[in-house]
């Protein structure tokens, strides 16, 4: 019979849970000593493209501080500086370690993640010391492999985040300032009226009475098929009716660019 270390029960006995908890406590203490404070930013899906599987209108509305440890202490991995046909591209990858228990208590129970119970690929990490953002590419949850019979940490494979005009409204000044500096959203640099409201509005005001106080409305009613204008002279519905548009069946005999037909007009048999 193989004799294991008598001071550790290795998954057997009544003290097994206590040993695992102690082992996890030591890892958390080590992460707080050797790690860095990093903000975890969950991605808020706004309008996912069902064909390409992406969401160009993603938003980040929360930033949760949590300690993480850089495994690659010598520097960034990846291909570093790379010259391609589009110019200079810098690919900097690294691996971050975070405690599962700390992630659950600090983040998972406080927000609605796209996939509950673990870090999500596509979420963003902000490292204040470097003033840099990283995007999670892969989440490794089985390394180290069952030491003392449990899996206490996540290892996050991350790369430098390429900003694509996503909305940043986390309440953390160092993060939100980047949105104001680099965003191309019209609402950031819009012209304001005398009453202080912008000529471009994101949320629709009271337009039923015809007293709208903005020129352009970016809001979209998902319960309707077409985007209606605020003008009483608009002929959207008349044109849709003349074109054979049926709001009940969401069928358009002239043009159809919905998810069910992403390649344009196709004659139905």
For 47-94, the pLDDT digits (tens) are 777 777 777 778 899 999 999 999 877 767 666 666 766 666 677 889
Tokens found for residue 165: 């005009």
User: Which pLDDT band holds residue 23 (cuts at 50, 70, 90)?
Assistant: confident
Q: Tell me the Ramachandran region of residue 205: left when phi exceeds 0, alpha when psi lies from -120 to 50, beta otherwise.
A: beta
Calpha distance 209→19 (Å, rounded): 68
pLDDT one-digit tens code per residue, 169-209:
898 988 988 877 777 766 666 666 666 666 665 544 444 44
- Among 72-76, 108-112, 164-168, the range of highest mean pLDDT: 108-112
- Among 10-19, 140-149, 229-238, the range of highest mean pLDDT: 140-149
Is the Cβ–Cβ distance between 217 and 226 less than 8 Å? no
- Domain borders along the chain are 16-182
Q: Could you tell me what percent of the chain has a pLDDT over 70? A: 57
Question: What are the phi and psi torsion angles at 181 (to 5°)?
Answer: -80, -35
Rg of the chain (C-alpha set): 26
């Amino acid at each position: 019979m193989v004799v294991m270390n008598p001071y550790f029960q290795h998954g057997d006995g009544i003290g097994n849970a206590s040993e695992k908890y102690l082992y996890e406590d030591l890892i958390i203490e080590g992460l707080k000593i050797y790690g860095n404070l990093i903000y975890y930013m969950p991605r808020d899906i706004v309008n996912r493209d069902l064909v390409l599987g992406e969401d160009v209108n993603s938003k980040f509305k929360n930033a949760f501080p949590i300690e993480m440890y850089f495994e690659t202490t010598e520097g960034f991995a990846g291909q570093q500086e790379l010259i391609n046909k589009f110019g200079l591209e810098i690919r900097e990858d690294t691996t971050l370690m975070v405690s599962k228990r700390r992630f659950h208590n600090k983040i998972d129970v406080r927000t609605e993640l796209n996939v509950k119970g673990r870090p999500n690929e596509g979420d963003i990490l902000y490292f204040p010391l470097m003033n840099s953002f990283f995007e999670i590419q892969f989440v490794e949850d089985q390394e180290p492999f069952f030491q003392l019979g449990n899996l206490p940490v996540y290892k996050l494979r991350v790369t430098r985040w390429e900003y694509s005009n996503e909305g940043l409204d986390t309440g953390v000044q160092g993060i939100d300032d980047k949105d104001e500096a680099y965003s191309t959203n019209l609402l950031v640099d819009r012209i304001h009226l005398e009453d202080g409201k912008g000529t471009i509005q994101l949320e629709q005001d009271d337009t039923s009475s015809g007293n709208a106080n903005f020129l352009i409305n970016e809001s979209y009613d998902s319960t309707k098929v077409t985007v209606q204008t605020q003008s009483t002279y608009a002929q959207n519905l008349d044109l849709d009716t003349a074109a054979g548009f049926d709001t009940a069946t969401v069928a358009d005999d002239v043009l159809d660019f919905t998810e069910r037909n992403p390649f344009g007009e196709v004659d139905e048999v």
